[in-house]
Structure 1
Amino acid sequence: MTGDDLKLLRERRGLTQTQMAAFVNELTGRRYDKQRLSKWETGREPLPRDVLGRLLLLSLEQPATEAPRAGTTIAIGLQKGGTAKTATSINVAFMLARSGNRVLLVDADPQGNATVHVGVPQTDVVALTEQGRVLYHALMGKAKLAEVIRPTSVEGLDVVPSSIALASADTELPGNLTNAQTAMAEMLDAVRGDYDFILIDCAPNLGAVTINALTAADYVLIPCQAEPHAILGVNAFLDTVTKIQRRLNPNLRVLGVLPTMLNPRQTQDRSSLDDIGRLWGEDYRVFPPVPRATIYAQAAGANVITLDADIGAPGVESYAAIAGALLKATGRIRESSDAA
């Protein structure tokens, strides 16, 4: 968010600089004044990280509407592990939910990391698996999706939990000839009207469950670590997306590529970021990179969403840009409300 973005946000809310400073103080518990706000707007001082995160959320908020929910579905995937797919899924879901949307997070990875990171304890995951109330059971038609969905501690955000049981679906789905590739789409149809957005955290492979996710999705977002091996996997993944578009889901669109885990002080990382822009920047949107930061590992270790623990965490600009792109693509905010 630039100084001009801050000024536009203030003017859109009809506030003077003094009133905006008071509003920021309410959000943060700080004591900023008109002079400090003026320095932010003119770029003489950078926005403090916690102020930045809260204002980015504010820029994504939309007025209440009676428009029906459409369950716009976004698959987050790449067939390589360690590219921050789960961090991307849960933090984008958080931004969308905190800006006033109803969001469903579908954990489509047998590792179940997204499930525990949004607050479902591992002991509960074991119990839910034994009770037949995880994604595997809903996907295979052994349970209704409504019986599997669980609320999280974030208002407006629900989760479809996953467990190691989902690994069996990659071999069982191909044997189900009636809906081997559309099972997830049919499963989600039952709840699309209850949510504004549905985010699917895909496994790091191109198995049957990931193909189902792409077949069910309106958009696909590709997190790509700023390193050569991850970059090599993007073309193969895009080839798969093209096949899905041609054979199963002609409405699937690429939302963009998200560079992740960037250390700008490393020459190799900077070179990889340049490669990402050179290879795909003309055809797809390349979102602002998410920097490598210890807070993501700390949040993962504590089983919390990073931005819920620290709204000013490095990368909040990237996740706000993705949320803003989705809100604009679905007509929920005007072009002038771009959070990027």
Structure 2
Amino acid sequence: MTGEDLRMLRERRGLTQSQMAALVNEMTGRKYDKQRLSKWETGKEVIPREILGRLLLLSIEQTPTEPPRRGVTVAVGLQKGGTAKTATSINIAYVLARTGSRVLLVDADPQGNATTHVGVGQAEVVELTNSGRVLYHALMGKAALTDVIRNTSVGGLDLVPSSIALASADTELPGNLTNAQTALAEMLDPVRTGYDFIVIDCAPNLGAVTINALTAADFVLVPCQTEPHAILGVSAFLETVAKIRRRLNPRLEVLGILPTMFNGRLSQDRSSMDDITRLWGAENTVFPPVPRATIYAQAAGANVITLDADIGAPGAESYAAIAAALLKATGRLTETVHAA
């Protein structure tokens, strides 16, 4: 967010600089005045990180009269591992929840990283698995989804937890000829009206569960690390998306490509960023890149959502831009400021 973005946000809300400073102070417990706000708007001072994240949330404004909830579903996927799919999924879900949406995060990866990221410990994962209350059991019809869904510490954000048990689904689903490719969509149908958005964190493969996720989704978001091997994987993944659109899910749209782990000081990263824009920028949205930052590994180690720990973390603008794109596509966003 630039100083010009801040000024446009303030004016759109009909606030003076003094009133906007008071709003910022209310959100943060600080004591900024209109002179400091003026310096941010003119670019004389950099907007502090802890302020930036909260301003980004303010910039995503939902319509006063919201359309009915219908569980608009976005799958976050790429068959290559290590491209920040889980970090992307949980932080998008977090931003959407913070803007007032009801969000269901579905952990569709047997590694269960999204589950632990939102605070479910390993001992609890084992207990949930043993008691038949993880995604595998709901997907295979062994448990009702409502018995599997659990609350998180983030208001408005619920979770369908996962565990290593889900690995069996990739071999078991193809043997179920009645709904081998639509089981996940059918599983989600009864709860869709309870949520504005459903975010599916996909496994790093193109197995049966990932195909189910793409068949259930309205949108697919592709996180791509800014390095050559990840870029090669995007082409193959988009070909799979095109096949699923033709054969199974004609409503599936590519929300965009999200470059991740970007270091602008490295020539290889800059070259890969140029390649991503050249290859897919004409037909797809390429979102602002998420910088490489140690806070993501630290948040993962602490089992917390990065933006919940630091709302102004590097990459906050990228996730806000994705959330804004989803809100706009579903008619829940009136307008938004430019995310630089």
Q: For residues 75 and 123 of structure 2, what CA distance do their matches in structure 1 show?
A: 27
Counterpart for residue 156 of structure 1: 156
- The residue aligned with 2:14 is 14
Q: Where do 1:144-223 residues align within 5 Å?
A: 144-223=144-223
- Aligned counterparts of 1:304 and 1:256: Cα–Cα separation in 2: 26
CA shift, 1:61, in A, is 3.6
| Equivalent residue, structure 1, for 2:306 | 306
2:60/2:335 contact within 8 Å kept = no
Superposition deviation, residue 7 in structure 1? 1.4
Q: Does 1:258 align with 2:258?
A: yes
| Deviation, structure 1 residue 8 | 1.9
What is the aligned partner in structure 1 of residue 289 from structure 2? 289
Contact 1:71/1:197 (<8 A) preserved? yes
- The answer to whether the 8 Å contact 2:61/2:336 transfers is no
Does the 8 Å CA contact 2:74/2:198 hold for their aligned counterparts? yes
Q: Shift of the alpha carbon at 1:157?
A: 0.1
Contact 2:102–2:195, Cα closer than 8 Å, also in 1: yes
Give the secondary structure class of the aligned counterpart of 1:221.
strand
Alignment RMSD: 1.1
Q: Please say if residues 324 and 339 of structure 1, whose CA atoms lie closer than 8 Å, have aligned partners that are also in contact.
A: no
In structure 2, how many angstroms separate the alpha carbons of the residues matched to 1:151 and 1:9? 32
Show structure 2 runs of 5+ residues with no match. none
Letter in 1 for 2:179: N
Q: 1:255 to 1:66 in 2, by over 3 A?
A: closer
The answer as to whether partners of 1:325 and 1:338 remain within 8 angstroms in 2 is no
Question: Counterpart of 1:45?
Answer: 45
SS of match in other structure, 1:39:
helix
Aligned to 1:60: 60
For 2:311, the aligned partner's letter is I
Structure 1 position 108, deviation (Å): 0.1
2:298 partner SS? helix
| Higher mean displacement: 34-43 or 141-150 | 34-43
**2:269 paired residue number:** 269
Query: Cα 1:171–1:53, aligned 2, differ >3 Å: closer, same or farther?
Result: same
Letter in 1 for 2:238: L
Give 2:118's aligned residue. Answer: 118
**Residue of structure 2 in register with 1:227 after alignment:** 227
SS of the residue corresponding to residue 57 of structure 1 reads helix
Q: Which residue matches 2:84?
A: 84
Which residue identity is paired with 2:108? A
CA deviation vs aligned residue, 1:253-286 (integer Å, no higher than 9, x gap): 0000000001111111111111111111101000
Amino acid at match of 1:278: R
Displacement of 1:63 in angstroms is 5.1
SS in 2 for 1:136: helix
Quick one: distance in 1 between partners of 2:160 and 2:332? Answer: 25
Map of 1:108 onto structure 2: 108
After TM superposition, give the deviation of residue 4 of structure 1 in Å.
Answer: 2.2
CA 119–65 in structure 1, closer or farther in 2 if over 3 Å, else same: farther
CA pair 318-66 structure 1, distance change in 2 beyond 3 A: closer
Regions of 4+ moved over 6 Å: none
CA distance in 2, matches of 1:13, 1:314: 26
